[in-house]
Structure 1
């Protein structure tokens, strides 16, 4: 989770990535959130808070910043690549 957040922050701040390029990464965070809530949903002394709440707040902030809904991220699918050679016309 933290790795995805670091990539998003780095690519936003240093490479100037736009929303369209960040959507797959944000969709990945959203997809992981049920497990984060399940396994890290309680207060953690070492963390100094509740990791799941902080990650959820980050996701919510990014969605608002980029004008995306949870449904937008859920609906995202990678573009299908065309493989092989084009067929010859008869």
Structure 2
């Protein structure tokens, strides 16, 4: 019988590391965006959730947001341009990368 360890299957880790951070702590501060995921929201049915892996002041954080503008903007960033630096601002009633 074959042992699992002999199959050469490795775990695919797709979780982000770092403490969860609120958007208020990131506004108007320079951050580096390392990666992102967009998935269905578990809290608000029928909506999407943006999960950002980012670095602020040398510390990794994870941001969860339902901002459709941020989702639209990050989808336009080519994967080969990650990581990138940006500032998240509040413009009127929505959030934007600058």
Shared fold per TM-score greater than 0.5: no
Larger Rg over CA atoms = 1
Relative to the length of structure 2, the TM-score reads 0.29
Relative to the length of structure 1, the TM-score reads 0.31
